[in-house]
Amino acid sequence: MKPPRDGILLVDKEEGESSHGVVKKVKSALSYGKRYKVGHAGTLDPFATGLLVILLGQGTKLSRFMMAGEKEYLATLELGIETDTLDPTGSVTAVRDVPRLSSGFIRETAKRYEGKIQQTPPAYSAVKHNGSRAYTLARKGLPVKLKERTVTVHSLSIDSVDLPEITLRVRCGGGTYIRTLAADLARDLGPGGRLKTLRRLKSGAFDVADAMLSRDILNEAHGQIQKRGIPLLEALPGMEEIVIDETLAEKVRLGYQPHWNELARVVDPIHSLFENTENDQESLIKLVSGDRLLAIVKRESEEGGHEKVEFERVFS
């Protein structure tokens, strides 16, 4: 059976190439023509390496769901050198001596950054500011003042200390800037610093160990890349699903939006799927028919106590 064209592909990005460059290589290798969509979920800066989730065809509709998942990174923080980009690609703005810092003090300081924290995105980032990308303004020397946002750091552990370098392992929620996290920690430690290296190890349920090397994309046969693709139905393994029959599935394809009680008749304990949910991402459900993903939906309340199904994404 020929692997599906719609889904995701796991790629281990090399240092020095852009995320968009990897997308172009995948699109060229698949040779589906200009109308076939290819994208990615979660940009990696050119200096960074590791897991880049490539979205294929209708997989591009999964972007926000993939990006909202937990990420894991291995990073090197270099103390004593600050740059305007907070990483090795920028201009040096300060150089300071690095004092003797005990491993205990470093680990104790790092623990302050676990949990929900306030973080300001770096000026050299893709965040929109006054209608333009922040990095566009920063490169022109224009002032960029971005708003603080709340991000979640599930864990920040110290793998090793070899001053002036500290190796960090970070598990965090979507939207967290590791450059900013490293720079903030460096300032708290005293001398300041920059992120020297960054490698993404995991994104959601997916691991870089299962990814193909980006350098191999253009050398792989079209069929081999297809075999490495993960179909739509398996692209969000942590999301609950409801299997509906073909009759209801056909109505959904034609634009019909079922009420919640129709789905409750299909799956008796459906309401248990939403007990103790913490965020919108956890309240989402996949509608499935056979081996096909039909839609991603969530439950919404209406006036009078009724509940309806709100469609987040529909797949043809």
Sign of CA dihedral 175, 180, 186, 188: negative
User: What CA–CA distances, in Å, run from 55 to 64, 172, 244?
Assistant: 11, 22, 26
Spatial contact of 101 and 189, defined as CB atoms under 8 Å apart: yes
CATH class of the region 240-314: mainly beta
pLDDT (mean) for 271-276: 46
Q: Sorting pLDDT into bands at 50, 70 and 90, what band is 130?
A: low
Q: Which residues of 286-313 are buried (b: 16+ CB within 10 A; e: fewer)?
A: bbbbeebbbbbbbbeeeeeeeeebebeb
Q: Count CA within 13 A, CB hemisphere, residue 121.
A: 19
Give pLDDT, residue 52: 97
Q: Which residue is listed with tokens 């003090």?
A: 105
In the chain, what are the domain boundaries?
7-68+206-232, 71-203, 240-314
- CA-based max dimension of the chain: 70
Q: How far is CA 185 from the centre of its chain?
A: 22
Q: What percent of the chain has pLDDT above 70?
A: 87
Range from 67-76, 139-148, 196-205, 262-271 carrying the lowest mean pLDDT = 262-271
In CATH, which of 3.40.50.170, 3.30.2350.10, 3.20.20.140, 3.40.50.2300 is domain 71-203?
3.30.2350.10
Q: What is the pTM of this model?
A: 0.88
Model pLDDT for residues 139-192, shown as the tens digit of each residue: 777 777 778 899 999 999 999 999 999 999 999 998 899 999 999 999 999 999
As annotated, the active-site residues are 45
Q: Does domain 7-68+206-232 match CATH 3.30.2350.10? A: yes
Same fold, 7-68+206-232 and 240-314: no
Give pLDDT, residue 281: 52
Q: What percent of the chain has pLDDT above 90?
A: 58
